[in-house]
């Protein structure tokens, strides 16, 4: 609209570009299907920021309307994609994109997992209290619960 | 005036290179060296500082500070999303990034979209992601969360994309496009002063947002006026996605009948 709002446009476009690039890096590198979808959504966020910035600059509602449609399509995409991820998980038991590497191009090399170090993080040290009283009977359900996710 | 863009360009290039390097160090690589990750975090912080220094001054301390804080929240938590080992942490970092993005949208004057982003993304989509994660994620870190495909090349690709984008963003000039000059000129003509505005006004304060008054009412009028057909198409798309998702995830009547038969047989066996 005018020269005074140009710095705001450029800063907002830079933020959108950074978000888009981070999403690109995420979707290229990560192997977890869910994290790949999070990265795709992040690219959509970058696009939304850029569209709204242009909308502010031009004083026009076109960018806002387009972002509303981006939200709609993202909701549809998430629903359908999560169903496919669940189907893929029930077939392979993993959320791993490399579990489907038989679908790759003939010229692309096979992903080979190397041996990873046994433990990668230091286990958290929780404060301990001095045991007192009678030890309660253990619950049978405890063994079925997960330790952490 | 001339050296300033040059220095800013150098700063921006350094920021992009530092971003790529810190992403490469932070991405899961199977080795989990703490010192590498610390170095990556330091480089990332330096990159953020350089981005802030290379950014244009907005004029008006309050607006600039708010924009700085919300965009830093958005960008830093976005980076944390893609480098998190645990996908649950990645989803929660993504929620924080969404709140930052909603703040950026609010600063840009998109009140409805800022709130809609939080409601739709953080309220609905992200919770769905978390449900699937809780259903499908094994205990502990899976091996495929601890390695990544080609982190160096991907960080390089991101840096190249970011460099090209910020180059073209930096080249934007204040030239008023033909489409948008009309109302301002009409106002000036109505006021009887045909003088064009000064070419380079000092960045004292941001211009008032032309979309601010009656924002939601005008947005709704635009949406259901010019874009009514697109709204209908989006509604159909939502319905199709809903039906498609149910159709894909359901197992069909034969499988359900077979399961029911098996359950009945098992119940009969235990009764006998």
Mean residue pLDDT of chain B comes to: 82
Out of A6, A9, A38, the one facing B129 most closely (by C-beta) is A38
Q: Give the CATH number of the domain where residue B110 resides.
A: 1.20.120.1200
B200, part of any domain: no
B24 and B157 in a single domain? The answer is: yes
Per-residue CA distances from A145 to A14, A135, A148, B63, B130 (Å):
45, 20, 9, 49, 18
In a domain, B193, yes or no: no
CA B88 to chain centre: 18
Closest CA to A84 of B254, B140, B136: B136
Query: pLDDT tier at A147 (50, 70, 90 boundaries)?
Result: low
**Residue of B105, B222, B230 to mutate, testing the A interface (most A Cβ within 10 Å of its Cβ):** B105
Higher pLDDT among residues B210 and A90, named by residue:
A90
- Say which residue, A139 or A68, is predicted with more confidence: A68
Range of the domain at B128: 3-170
Q: To the nearest 5 percent, what fractions of chain B are helix, strand and coil?
A: 75, 0, 25
pLDDT of residue A86: 87
Using an 8 Å CB-CB cutoff, list chain A residues near B237: 72-73, 76
Whether B228 and B164 map to the same domain: the answer is no
Are B59 and A4 within 8 A, CB to CB? Answer: yes
Residue A96 in contact with residue A33, Cβ under 8 Å? Answer: yes
Architecture of domain A3-98: Orthogonal Bundle (1.10)
Q: Are residues B29 and B154 in the same domain?
A: yes
Q: How far apart are CA B108 and CA B111, in angstroms?
A: 8
pLDDT on residue A2? 54
Q: Which is more confidently placed, A84 or B4?
A: A84
Instruction: Select, from the ranges A30-44, A123-137, B247-261, the one with the highest average predicted confidence (pLDDT).
Output: A30-44
Would you state the pLDDT for residue A118? 66
B88: its two tokens:
């649950």
Cα–Cα distance measured from residue B198 to residue A15, given in angstroms and rounded to the nearest whole number: 28
CB distance A86–B135 less than 8 Å? Answer: yes
B33 and B151 share a domain?
A: yes
Q: What pLDDT does B254 receive?
A: 76
Exposure pattern of A12-38 as b/e (b: 16+ CB <10 Å)? bbbbbbbbbbbbbbbbbbbbbbbbbbb
- The answer to whether residues B10 and B144 belong to one domain is yes
Where b means 16+ CB within 10 Å and e means fewer, A58-94 reads bbbbebbbbbbbbbbebbbbbbbbbbebbebbeeeeb
For chain A, the structural domain boundaries read: 3-98
Instruction: Locate B101 and state its tokens.
Output: 């993005």
Q: What is the pLDDT of residue A22?
A: 95
Question: Could you tell me if residue B183 is inside a domain?
Answer: no
Q: How many beta-carbon contacts under 8 Å exist across A and B?
A: 320
Taking the CB of residue B226, how many other CB atoms lie within 10 A of it?
12
Query: What pLDDT does B116 receive?
Result: 92
Residue B180 placed within a domain: no
| Count of all residues that appear for chain B in the document | 272
Q: Which of A72, A116, A149 sits opposite B234 (nearest CB)?
A: A72
Give the residue carrying structure tokens 């590498």: B36
Q: Do B160 and B217 have their domain in common?
A: no
Q: Is there a contact between A32 and B142 (Cβ–Cβ < 8 Å)?
A: yes
Alpha helices in chain A (DSSP H): 6-29, 33-58, 62-92
Return the ∠ at Cα B248 (arms to A78 and A91), rounded to 5°: 90
- Whole-structure pTM value: 0.81
Q: Looking at the DSSP assignment, which residues form a beta bridge with residue A96?
A: A32
Give me the pLDDT at residue B74, please.
Answer: 95
Q: What is the DSSP string of B177-243?
A: PHHHHHHHHHHHHHHT--PPPPSS---SSPPPPTT-TTHHHHHHHHHHHTTHHHHHHHHHHHHHHHH
On whether residue B190 sits in a domain, the answer given is: no
- Count of domains in chain B? 2
The phi and psi torsions of B226 (rounded to 5 degrees) equal -70, -30
Compute the average pLDDT of residues A66-77.
Answer: 93
Residues 112-171 of B with CB under 8 A from A: 112-113, 116-117, 120-121, 124-125, 128-129, 132-137, 139-151, 153-155, 157-159, 161-162, 165-166, 169-170
CA distances from B91 to A42, A72, A101, B214 (A): 11, 20, 25, 35
Q: What is the mean pLDDT of residues A79-106?
A: 87
The more confident residue out of A68 and B190 is A68
Q: Which residues contact A112 (CB under 8 A, 6 or more apart)?
A: none
- B243 falls within a domain: yes
Tokens, residue B71: 């965009």
* Interface contact B166-A17, CB threshold 8 A: yes
ipTM for this prediction: 0.81
| Pair B158, B44 in one domain | yes
Report residue B66 as tokens: 């708010």
Residue at which a domain ends, from B154, B170, B186: B170
For residue B54, the model assigns a pLDDT of 83
Considering only residues A29 and B209, tell me which one the structure prediction assigns the higher pLDDT. A29
Q: CA B169: distance to chain centroid?
A: 18
One domain for residues B31 and B100: yes
Same-domain pairing of B65 and B158: yes
Given a contact cutoff of 8 angstroms between Cβ atoms, the answer to whether B90 and A38 are in contact is yes
Beta bridge pairs of residue A32: A96
pLDDT value at A68 more than 60: yes
Residue B147 domain flag: yes
List, for chain B, all residue ranges whose pLDDT scores fall below the cut of 50: 1-3, 178-204
3-state SS assignment for residue B84: coil
* Confidence at residue B257, expressed as pLDDT on a 0 to 100 scale: 82
Number of Cβ within 10 Å of residue B14's Cβ equals 16
Say whether both B231 and B145 belong to one domain.
no
Alpha-carbon distance B72 to B26, whole Å?
18
């Amino acid at each position: 609209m005018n020269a005074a709002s140009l710095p705001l446009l450029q800063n907002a476009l830079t933020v959108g570009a950074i978000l888009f690039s981070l999403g690109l890096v995420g979707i290229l590198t990560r192997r977890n299907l869910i994290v790949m979808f999070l990265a795709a959504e992040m690219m959509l966020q970058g696009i939304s920021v850029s569209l709204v910035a242009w909308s502010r600059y031009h004083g026009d509602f076109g960018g806002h309307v387009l972002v509303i449609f981006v939200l709609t399509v993202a909701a549809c995409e998430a629903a359908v994609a999560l169903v496919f991820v669940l189907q893929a998980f029930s077939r392979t038991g993993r959320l791993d994109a490399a579990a489907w590497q038989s679908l790759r191009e003939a010229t692309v090399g096979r992903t080979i997992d190397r041996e990873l170090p046994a433990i990668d993080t230091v286990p958290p040290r929780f404060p301990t209290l001095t045991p007192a009283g009678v030890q309660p009977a253990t619950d049978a359900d405890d063994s079925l619960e997960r330790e952490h996710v | 005036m001339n050296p300033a863009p040059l220095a800013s360009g150098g700063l921006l290039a350094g920021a992009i290179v530092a971003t790529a390097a810190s992403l490469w160090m932070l991405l899961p690589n199977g080795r989990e060296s703490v010192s590498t990750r610390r170095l990556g975090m330091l480089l990332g912080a330096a990159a953020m500082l350089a981005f802030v220094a290379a950014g244009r001054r907005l004029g008006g301390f309050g607006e600039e500070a708010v924009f700085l804080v919300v965009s830093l929240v958005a960008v830093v938590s976005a980076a944390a999303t893609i480098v998190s080992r645990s996908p649950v942490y990645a989803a929660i970092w993504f929620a924080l990034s969404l709140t930052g993005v909603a703040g950026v949208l609010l600063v840009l004057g998109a009140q409805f979209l800022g709130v809609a982003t939080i409601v739709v993304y953080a309220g609905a989509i992200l919770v769905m992601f978390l449900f699937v994660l809780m259903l499908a994620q094994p205990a502990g870190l899976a091996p495929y969360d601890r390695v990544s495909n080609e982190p160096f090349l991907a960080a390089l690709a991101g840096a190249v994309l970011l460099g090209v984008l910020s180059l073209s963003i930096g080249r934007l000039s204040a030239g008023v496009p033909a489409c948008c000059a009309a109302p301002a000129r009409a106002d000036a003509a109505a006021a009887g002063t045909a003088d064009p505005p000064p070419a380079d006004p000092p960045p004292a304060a941001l211009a008032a947002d032309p979309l601010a008054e009656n924002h939601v009412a005008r947005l709704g009028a635009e949406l259901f006026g010019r874009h009514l057909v697109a709204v209908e198409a989006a509604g159909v798309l939502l319905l199709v996605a809903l039906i498609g998702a149910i159709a894909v995830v359901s197992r069909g009547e034969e499988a359900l009948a077979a399961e029911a038969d098996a359950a009945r047989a098992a119940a009969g066996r235990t009764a006998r």
